[in-house]
């Protein structure tokens, strides 16, 4: 199925608050891989926060920076990549990631996502009058994109450790050609 793909990395996609950062860090630690986060890469290259970019330059400017970072990732090996929640909405981003990485989507219910993000303030898209409605709306719109991942994992009832184990298991299956 993936015979022309050379899966040397793991990319985690999924909505804000589904556990991409915690799971990604643990998977990287266990595999002795590098860990990269697309938001952190954007912040490092611009010297600005994600909120500042959204507020002053707008979302399209942020998405352009995001796409540039995705292109840079194609030269990586042995890396676990955690991606911003809106990144797979651009089909070119997902297609690019799939050339070198096993793409795993972490999935959660809107209730669980709200529980995880409600006390955090660094996500401009949730600076909304009704953040819970915004979560539902974005989740519904993005569902079809997230579902294009190679593997879908629900993180509602699994611990970070369990999800990380699942990710590693799937990666080993794929890497061994199953």
Residues forming contacts to ligand S3P in the complex (CB under 6 A) are: 16, 20, 39, 50, 84-86, 123-125
Q: How far apart are CA 47 and CA 43, in angstroms?
A: 5
**Closest approach of ligand S3P to the CB of residue 3, in Å:** 31
**Closest approach of ligand S3P to the CB of residue 162, in Å:** 20
**Closest approach of ligand S3P to the CB of residue 62, in Å:** 7
- Given the complex with ligand S3P, which of 20 and 100 has the nearer CB atom? 20
- Given the complex with ligand S3P, which of 125 and 152 has the nearer CB atom? 125
Q: How far apart are CA 122 and CA 105, in angstroms?
A: 22
- Residue 153, classed as helix, strand or coil, is strand
- Given the complex with ligand S3P, which of 8 and 125 has the nearer CB atom? 125
The DSSP output letter for 148 is: T
Q: Edge to edge, what strands does the sheet with 9-14 contain?
A: 34-37, 79-82, 9-14, 101-107, 151-154
- Given the complex with ligand S3P, which of 86 and 110 has the nearer CB atom? 86
**Closest approach of ligand S3P to the CB of residue 21, in Å:** 6
Looking only at the bridges linking them, the beta strands covering 34-37 and 101-107 are unpaired
């Amino acid at each position: 199925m993936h015979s022309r793909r050379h899966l040397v990395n793991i990319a985690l996609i999924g909505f804000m608050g589904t556990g991409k950062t915690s799971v990604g860090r643990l998977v990287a630690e266990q595999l002795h891989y590098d860990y990269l986060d697309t938001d952190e890469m954007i912040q490092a290259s611009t010297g600005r926060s994600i909120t500042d970019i959204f507020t002053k330059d707008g979302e399209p400017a942020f998405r352009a920076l995001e796409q540039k970072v995705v292109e840079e990732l194609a030269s990586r090996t042995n890396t676990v990549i955690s991606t911003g929640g809106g990144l797979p909405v651009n089909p070119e981003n997902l297609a690019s990631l799939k050339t070198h990485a096993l793409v795993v989507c972490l999935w959660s219910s809107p209730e669980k996502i709200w529980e995880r993000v409600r006390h955090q303030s660094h996500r401009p898209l949730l600076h909304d009058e009704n953040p819970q409605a915004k979560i539902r709306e974005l989740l519904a719109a993005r569902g079809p994109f997230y579902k294009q991942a190679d593997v879908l994992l629900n993180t509602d009832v699994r611990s970070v450790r369990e999800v990380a184990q699942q990710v590693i298991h799937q990666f080993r299956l794929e890497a061994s050609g199953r």
